[in-house]
């Protein structure tokens, strides 16, 4: 057993390409996602259709434009101008104020603002929507509070509590942790097991009296250790470079990660049993694991915006549940009582995969 682990470590450290993949990839990904691929929006072009042109609408407009999120492209005069304005493609949002806006607030206590967004880029639209709502609500709140009224839309404030500025790093770090853990464990284990098959050393291992589960364990332990090192690097980076907090228990975070790791590792073993070459193992882990995890886990695209079929599909992505857990721990600082369901789901997935991979692992060559 120790001989296996020692061998595996020696092997990893001697092969500089493996090392680069193992440690370079997380670094590159987090820096890329953190800095380059940012979802934070600045200077989005908007148009305003003000049917009221009173004190209140002008004040709201000023508030919107004085935030650095929006730049006024033009004022529109009628509803008919909205469509062509979008078609030109420069405008991301149109804010429409109701007629007699200030009047209605005073007399009826409610007035309507319509936000029309270019949702061809759903993420941007989503974020712009939140920005605008936030600014308007803040204004209404202050105004009414100043006049002694009752605040109306408190609930919007709570949706943005954990990521007030919708900082994308906060969204990406849990996703990156998930993808890295999954990729390193599943891909690397499957590749190293298949490599032994390819090189013919598996033949020699199988002929020896060593039990198959020891062979597997010897493969798995080094990658658990390495993945933990990776996890630590990502957490430290996100904390010190991007200021991402860990509000909940670190211990709990590590424990949940371990569970997720074991699941990914058994997935890797499963992949290794069905692939004959290293390339095959790599392609399988890439397409079967990495892409779905990135696309369907809510890492980049919000699950709520997906068609129902994909939403159902995302339910079987372990990554989805793990991201929920990490977000709960890191951003909200919640305890296990809030996400025992998700934990249980991952736990059963793990159990299923471990049993399957042990059953499928062959003591012979075919």
Residue ranges in contact with another protein by CB under 8 A: 2-3, 6-7, 10-11, 14-15, 199-201, 203-210, 363-366
Pairing of strands 113-117, 93-97: antiparallel
Nearest to 178 by CA among 263, 281, 247: 263
Q: Taking phi first (over 0 means left), then psi (-120 to 50 degrees means alpha), and beta for anything else, what does residue 96 get?
A: beta
Distance of alpha carbon 250 from alpha carbon 252, whole angstroms:
5
Looking up tokens 């941007």 gives 124
Could you give the angle at which helices 212-240 and 2-14 cross, rounded to 10 degrees?
50
Distance of alpha carbon 34 from alpha carbon 167, whole angstroms:
10
Distance of alpha carbon 221 from alpha carbon 226, whole angstroms:
9
Q: How far is the CB of 133 from another protein (least distance, A)?
A: 58
What per-residue string of b and e applies to 213-228 under the rule 16 or more CB within 10 Å gives b?
A: eebbebbbbbbbebbe
Q: Which lies closer to another protein via its Cβ, residue 13 or residue 35?
A: 13
Q: How far is the CB of 280 from another protein (least distance, A)?
A: 18
Nearest to 337 by CA among 349, 325, 327: 325
Q: How far is the CB of 90 from another protein (least distance, A)?
A: 57
Q: Which lies closer to another protein via its Cβ, residue 147 or residue 366?
A: 366
Q: Which lies closer to another protein via its Cβ, residue 5 or residue 65?
A: 5
Q: How far is the CB of 27 from another protein (least distance, A)?
A: 24
Q: How far is the CB of 224 from another protein (least distance, A)?
A: 20
Nearest to 139 by CA among 111, 173, 170: 111
Q: Which lies closer to another protein via its Cβ, residue 54 or residue 198?
A: 198
Q: Which lies closer to another protein via its Cβ, residue 92 or residue 197?
A: 197
Q: How far is the CB of 192 from another protein (least distance, A)?
A: 11
Structure tokens at 95: 């804010």
Q: Which lies closer to another protein via its Cβ, residue 36 or residue 365?
A: 365
């Amino acid at each position: 057993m120790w001989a296996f682990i020692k061998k595996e470590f020696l092997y990893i450290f001697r092969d500089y390409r493996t090392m680069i993949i193992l440690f370079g990839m997380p670094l590159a990904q987090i820096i890329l996602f953190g800095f380059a691929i940012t979802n934070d929006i600045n200077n989005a072009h908007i148009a305003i259709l003000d049917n009221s042109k009173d004190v209140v609408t002008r004040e709201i407009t000023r508030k919107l434009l004085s935030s650095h999120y929006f730049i006024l492209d033009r004022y529109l005069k009628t509803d008919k101008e909205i469509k062509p304005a979008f078609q030109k493609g420069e405008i991301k949002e149109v804010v429409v104020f109701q007629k007699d806006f200030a009047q209605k607030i005073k007399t009826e206590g409610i007035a309507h603002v319509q936000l029309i967004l270019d949702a061809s880029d759903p993420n941007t639209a989503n974020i712009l929507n939140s920005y605008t709502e936030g600014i308007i609500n803040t204004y209404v709140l202050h105004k009414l509070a100043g006049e002694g009224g009752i605040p109306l839309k408190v609930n919007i404030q709570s949706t943005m509590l954990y990521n007030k500025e919708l900082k994308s790093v906060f969204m990406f770090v849990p996703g990156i942790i998930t993808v890295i853990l999954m990729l390193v464990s599943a891909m690397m284990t499957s590749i190293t097991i298949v490599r032994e098959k390819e090189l013919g050393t598996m033949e020699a291992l199988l002929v020896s009296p060593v039990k198959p589960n020891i062979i597997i364990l010897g493969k798995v332990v080094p990658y658990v250790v390495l993945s933990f090192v990776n996890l630590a690097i990502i957490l430290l980076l996100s904390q010190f470079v991007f200021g991402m907090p860990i509000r909940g228990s670190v211990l709990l975070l590590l424990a949940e990660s371990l569970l997720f790791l074991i699941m990914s590792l058994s997935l890797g073993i499963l992949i290794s049993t069905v692939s004959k070459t290293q390339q095959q193992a790599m392609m399988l882990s890439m397409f079967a694991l990495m892409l779905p995890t990135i696309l369907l886990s809510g890492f980049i695209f919000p699950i709520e915006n997906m068609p129902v079929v994909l939403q159902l599909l995302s339910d079987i992505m372990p990554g989805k549940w793990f991201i929920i857990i990490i977000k709960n721990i890191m951003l909200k600082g919640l305890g296990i009582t809030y996400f025992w369901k998700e934990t249980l789901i991952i736990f059963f997935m793990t159990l299923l995969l471990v049993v399957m991979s042990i059953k499928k692992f062959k003591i012979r060559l075919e």
